[in-house]
A and B are shown apart, each in its own frame.
Chain A
Amino acid sequence: MGESRRRLTLVAVAALAVGVLLGFGVGWLVPRLTAPGDDSAEAGFARDMSSHHAQAVEMALLAYRNGENPGVRQLGYDIATVQQAQIGVMQTWLRDWGLSPTGSRPRMAWMPDGQQSLENGLMPGMATPQQLEQLRNAKGRDFDVLFCQLMLRHHLGGIHMVDGVLSETSDGEVRGLAEGMKAGQTKEVKILQDLLTDLNAKPL
């Protein structure tokens, strides 16, 4: 009787110890395991949208410096500062999730039908190297028109990618920023269209 009771106590203590360890283990693991993984839509979005934004910043700063129309210069400043800040947020996510800024999968692979939306390997709405060269060399009204045309396409492509991540994620942080991007860029699409009208030009 005494021996079996002692054994029972031992088993109970062992079970408690194992239970506590398991509890700590699970508590430690869960936040790490529930963070988006390397192949997740969230990580793919953070990486690809950072690249997409980086080009918008490049074009927007050209507009701030070379734009003739004050509206173009003002919009350039706005786009450059907002999107560079958003890049910082997305890069911080990746670090918090323990992920590299560079992924292992092809760009846009995180998005359903994402890879079909690539044009010559470029993400939706991205300007080609030739278009960028053209923009760098353009002046006056030509610059303003080309900038508005390119940025309009860029924003529409960006909104398409935002819709892609919104259909894939339930992560509150990601959804929050994505919805903010969509609202902001949709508003800017209208501004760009109005600028094109003022410039007596049409979208590409």
Chain B
Amino acid sequence: MSTPQGGGGSRRPSVVSTGKKPAASKATPGTKATKAPVKTTGGKGQRKRIAPVKVSQGRAWGPIAVLAAVLLVALAIIGYASWYIYQGSITWDERANGIPGIVNFRKTQPNVLERNHQPGSLTYPMSPPVGGNHNQIWQNCMGDVYTAQIANEHAVHSLEHGAVWITYRPDLPADQVEKLASKVRGQEMMLMSPYPGLDAPISLQAWGYQLKVDNASDGRIDEFIKALRVNASLEEGAVCSGGITVTGTTPRDLQTGG
């Protein structure tokens, strides 16, 4: 088939050019299908037989590029997903320890974090206390915003249950006090009270953890709550209701009648 066409082509150029193309495309399909007609338009059909080889090398880049792109996208998805999962798998204590300025007494002074029930007034090695022996009755921590000082001995029991206790120096501006209260009100496992003599405007406590900040708009406050509220509990499932709601720094001992 190819020889007659080649000869014909040289004799009658104008007519053959139309006849040639289908013929050439029939000859090439075995090797490469689609681009063959385009390449043969150059003119002399017979010499162009070599051309398809070069074209085939160029063509291979298409699939390779597509494959590479698909792989890249797949890798990106996997990478993002792994990062997303890694983020989610950070444990609460890793999250807490990552907060700048946080003090982790569980690590530095684990021996002071005893958890026996003791009546009467108790002393704590840190102020406000973040753990240690405490009163049998816990301070109600159902989002209670106490406007007067409460007893450490009750509050520490609330911390044991997993509450975050926000304390502030009484000279904290009212708008900041309100800002703190809005994080507490209606949120169980949170309580808040003024704390005269505090060495920072605001101090946050969870069992074994403390963070002191200067301003109610400090972003670390929310980080502290997110990391430690409920999670810091030593008694999983313990609740904040059923506690004492009275204020005053003297602990009220349970009246057992005996």
With both beta carbons as reference points, the residue of chain A lying nearest to B77 in the complex is identified as: A29
Chain B residue numbers with a CB within 8 Å of A54 are 142, 188, 239-241
Q: Would you call B88 and A57 a contact (CB within 8 A)?
A: no
CB of B144 closer than 8 Å to a CB of A: yes
Interface size class of A (residues with CB under 8 A): 20 to 34
Most buried by B among A99, A121, A122, A126: A121
With both beta carbons as reference points, the residue of chain A lying nearest to B242 in the complex is identified as: A61
Chain B residue numbers with a CB within 8 Å of A38 are 88
Interface size class of B (residues with CB under 8 A): 20 to 34
With both beta carbons as reference points, the residue of chain A lying nearest to B225 in the complex is identified as: A102
Cβ-neighbour of B241 out of A18, A61, A107, A126 (below 8 A): A61
Q: Which of B42-50, B103-111, B195-203, B227-235 contacts A (4 or more CB under 8 A)?
A: B227-235
Cβ-neighbour of B229 out of A25, A29, A58, A102 (below 8 A): A102
Q: Would you call A129 and B145 a contact (CB within 8 A)?
A: yes
Chain A residue numbers with a CB within 8 Å of B21 are none
Chain A 88-101 near chain B by CB (<8 Å), digits 1 or 0: 10010000001111
* Bound CA span A25–B76, Å: 12
* Bound CA span A51–B82, Å: 31
Chain A residue numbers with a CB within 8 Å of B95 are 100
Chain A residue numbers with a CB within 8 Å of B144 are 129
CB of B51 closer than 8 Å to a CB of A: no
Q: A194: shortest Cβ distance to chain B, in Å? A: 26
Cβ-neighbour of A29 out of B85, B182, B186, B230 (below 8 A): B85
CB of A149 closer than 8 Å to a CB of B: no
* Bound CA span A52–B143, Å: 12
Q: Considering the complex, which residues of chain A in the window 19-49 have a beta carbon less than 8 Å from any beta carbon of chain B?
A: 22, 25, 29, 32-33, 38
CB of A123 closer than 8 Å to a CB of B: yes
Given contacts A123-B186, A129-B185, contact A57 B239 (CB under 8 A): yes
* Bound CA span A101–B95, Å: 13
* Bound CA span A104–B95, Å: 13
Q: B166: shortest Cβ distance to chain A, in Å? A: 14
Contacts A32-B85, A54-B239, A55-B142 known; list 18 others, CB within 8 Å.
A18-B71, A22-B74, A22-B78, A32-B88, A33-B81, A33-B85, A50-B188, A51-B187, A58-B239, A98-B88, A100-B92, A100-B95, A101-B230, A103-B226, A107-B186, A123-B186, A132-B142, A133-B245
Name B residues whose Cβ lies closer than 8 Å to a Cβ of A: 71, 74, 78, 81-82, 84-85, 88-89, 92, 95, 142-145, 182, 185-188, 222, 225-227, 229-231, 237, 239-242, 245
Name A residues whose Cβ lies closer than 8 Å to a Cβ of B: 18, 22, 25, 29, 32-33, 38, 50-51, 54-55, 57-58, 61, 84, 88, 91, 98-104, 107, 120-123, 126, 129, 132-133, 136
Can you spell out 30 A-B residue pairs with CB atoms less than 8 angstroms apart? A18-B71, A22-B78, A25-B78, A29-B78, A29-B85, A32-B88, A33-B84, A38-B88, A50-B188, A51-B187, A51-B188, A54-B239, A54-B240, A57-B241, A61-B241, A84-B239, A100-B95, A101-B231, A102-B229, A102-B230, A103-B226, A104-B222, A107-B187, A120-B185, A121-B185, A121-B186, A122-B185, A122-B186, A129-B143, A136-B245
